[in-house]
Structure 1
Amino acid sequence: MCTAISFTTRQRHRFVGRTMDFPTRSTPWQLGYLPIDYQWKSLPECDSFANDYAILGGMRKINHHYLIGDGLNSAGLWAAELYFPGPQVYYDHPQSHHLNLSPQDLIGWLLGTHASVAEIAAELDSVALIGVIWHDHDIVHPFHWLLNDDTGTYLIEPTQYHLTLQALPLGVLTNSPCYPKQRQKLTSYLGIDPKASDAEVMMAICSSKAPLPSQRTPTSRFINAAVSLWQASPIEDQNAIKQGNELLKQVVLDQLADHDIYTHYLEMVDIQTQTSYFYDLTTQQQLKQRLPDLMVRFDQPYLFES
């Protein structure tokens, strides 16, 4: 489920995007806004937080709690939460001398209280992810996180208790397996050495003539998105939203009978102008909202109807 991309245009402006394929339960996915000073409580210990930054992105509201699927904050930091079944590692109970967070609450902490990836890196050692059920969920869900700021794109992948950041120059993420295995499958598709550098992988992508895979699997979507993104690069500013949308449409999961996994929305974000282009596939409606405008209009959380 889910595919996320990030890229920099020829004019050196940042754009990010994602598809959201995670099943809903009691409430739908919507474009949402959380203001500066928005107060929320985390699980499992119910620590209280007040956001230092406003957030615009895909969200669900559950009993006065907001599940953030992805968001851009008012400092220009973007993060997306993607499903990561299988290799994740969580603590069974809260850890002393740590900030204990549920997997669902991590993205709120990242975006609400940090202006950059460097700030996150300075505090990530203090975080312990606890395997707890989150509000309307009925199981402990696994996630990993894609981050982007003006220094590049990064990944937090909880394959060990100690959380770390790794650079992600390819700018693409889907689901399991873990990123090193996804990258290895990409090099296999390209017919190059698995130990090839990122620069060598990008060069191989640009010269590849192999047909793009079209299966619904995470690996197929990862290869499709990576090849499509780098073969289209460099992208011009004026074409970035259109080309990003076209790329994401290639990895949309159609709704099938007896399947609850399908694409609910796709979203492109122009980080330079802090503008979200949100396309709700369930209603076939498009929304465009600019974060600085919302910071003037709203002092309370707001969900946009589509």
Structure 2
Amino acid sequence: MCTSLTYTDTTGQPYFARTMDFPTTTPWRPIFLPRGYSWPTGLSFTRQTRYAILGGGRLPQNFASCLMADGINEAGLACAELYLPHAVHYHSDEQPGTVNLTPQGFINWVLGEHTSVTDVLTDLANVTLVAKLWGGDDQVYPFHWSLCDRSGHSVVIEPTTKLLTAQVNPSGVLTNTPVLARHLANLNHYLGVTGSQFSATTVSAAKNWLKQQRPLPTGPLPTDRFIRTAIHRLGTATLTPEQVKPTLLSWLAEVSLPYVPERESLSHNYTHYRSIIDLQATTYHFMPRHSAQVRTIPLTKTMSTTWHVPFIYRAN
């Protein structure tokens, strides 16, 4: 499934990048959601965005609202969902006096109503995630989320208990199951670092690993993709702004899931797109599977202030 990372270049400029590997029968594509957009929560009410959003999403079958998987808002806050099966705990019903959301709508709440990671964390304890179907989906999806903003503040939110909390992600990398703490322990074990806690020794070991040109793990397992991407990110000298986009796309290509045409009727579980978000420039770079070209779409002030309806870009 998906692989993501946050990154800061030599000038201090932050980025977010990811592969989208989630199987679906409707295409993922860039989508713009305006200020004041009323979106269905999947429950008995709708909510309305205060900030414009640009990111990767899709239109589910037989449903008129967009499902977002990642994106950035006009304030420079980014958020992405990744799959976390066998680890989440949602409420079965709405809870009075709280902000009730289905997991599929969590990104809309984050990006549509907040300007920073700190802003989200201030509200987080008030949120109830409810295990209800959203739109045309036939199941309630288990997610965890990676958030970052222009200050470089980056956290992961994992609903492993019904009370939502956030944790700093020192590796800057996130894939699917297991939870982040287990990923970090696996990384230490692979690098030969004692203990399960991420530390300066972990970073030093990653640098030595690349310097010695030791092999990196391969294959589609989330644990292997996490370790490979984390060693690249931690062990490589800090990239210049000119190096960021080609390097991050290359790292993501190494952990992308191949498209096998003869299997498409059975599974859409391949890398549908790679994306890079430039948080400072509020720009979304989108590279679909069937193209070698990166589409660059800025979220401009004009879009935020004068575009009043969603805009769904072509998938290619």
TM-score (norm 1): 0.95
Q: Which amino acid aligns with 2:39?
A: W
Tell me how far 1:285 sits from its aligned partner. Answer: 5.0
Q: Distance in 1 between matches of 2:6 and 2:68?
A: 18
Q: Deviation digits for residues 280-299 of structure 1, max 9, x if unmatched? A: 10455531110015336632
Q: Which residue of the partner structure matches residue 303 of structure 1? A: 312
Further displaced range: 195-204 or 88-97 = 195-204
Query: Mapping of 1:159-238 within 5 angstroms?
Result: 159-208=160-209, 209=212, 210-238=214-242
Q: Which residue of the partner structure matches residue 54 of structure 2? A: 56
Q: Which residue of the partner structure matches residue 24 of structure 2? A: 24
Q: Distance in 1 between matches of 2:139 and 2:173?
A: 27
Give the number of aligned pairs.
Answer: 304
Further displaced range: 253-262 or 85-94 = 253-262
Further displaced range: 277-286 or 34-43 = 277-286
Tell me how far 1:198 sits from its aligned partner. Answer: 2.9
Q: Which residue of the partner structure matches residue 156 of structure 2? A: 155
Q: Distance in 2 between matches of 1:123 and 1:151?
A: 19
Q: Distance in 2 between matches of 1:197 and 1:57?
A: 31
Q: Distance in 1 between matches of 2:274 and 2:128?
A: 30
1:289 matches 2:302: no
Q: Which residue of the partner structure matches residue 117 of structure 1? A: 117
Residue aligned with 1:169, SS:
coil
Query: Mapping of 1:55-74 within 5 angstroms?
Result: 55-62=53-60, 63-74=63-74
* Contact residue 42 and residue 135 of structure 2 kept, 8 A: no
Q: Distance in 2 between matches of 1:272 and 1:188?
A: 35
Q: Compared with structure 1, are the counterparts of its residues 123 and 247 closer, same or farther at alpha carbon in structure 2 (3 Å cutoff)? A: same
Tell me how far 1:260 sits from its aligned partner. Answer: 2.6
Q: Deviation digits for residues 205-228 of structure 1, max 9, x if unmatched? A: 111143111110000100011011
Could you tell me which of 252, 260, 269 is aligned with 1:261? Answer: 269
Segments of 5+ residues of structure 1 without an aligned counterpart are: none
Q: Distance in 1 between matches of 2:93 and 2:130?
A: 6
Query: Mapping of 1:86-97 within 5 angstroms?
Result: 86-97=86-97
Q: Which residue of the partner structure matches residue 79 of structure 2? A: 79
* Contact residue 84 and residue 142 of structure 1 kept, 8 A: yes
Q: Distance in 1 between matches of 2:196 and 2:291?
A: 44
Q: Which residue of the partner structure matches residue 37 of structure 1? A: 36
Tell me how far 1:95 sits from its aligned partner. Answer: 1.2
Further displaced range: 133-142 or 99-108 = 133-142
Q: Distance in 1 between matches of 2:14 and 2:232?
A: 17
* Contact residue 45 and residue 100 of structure 1 kept, 8 A: no
Residue aligned with 1:128, SS:
strand
Residue aligned with 1:94, SS:
coil
1:14 matches 2:18: no
Q: Which amino acid aligns with 2:165?
A: T
Q: Distance in 1 between matches of 2:50 and 2:119?
A: 13
* Contact residue 152 and residue 169 of structure 1 kept, 8 A: no
Q: Distance in 2 between matches of 1:169 and 1:98?
A: 30
Sequence identity, in percent?
35
Q: Distance in 2 between matches of 1:128 and 1:220?
A: 32
Tell me how far 1:119 sits from its aligned partner. Answer: 1.0
Segments of 5+ residues of structure 2 without an aligned counterpart are: none
Q: Deviation digits for residues 70-90 of structure 1, max 9, x if unmatched? A: 001111100001111111101
Q: Which amino acid aligns with 2:23?
A: P
Q: Distance in 2 between matches of 1:121 and 1:262?
A: 33
Tell me how far 1:236 sits from its aligned partner. Answer: 0.5
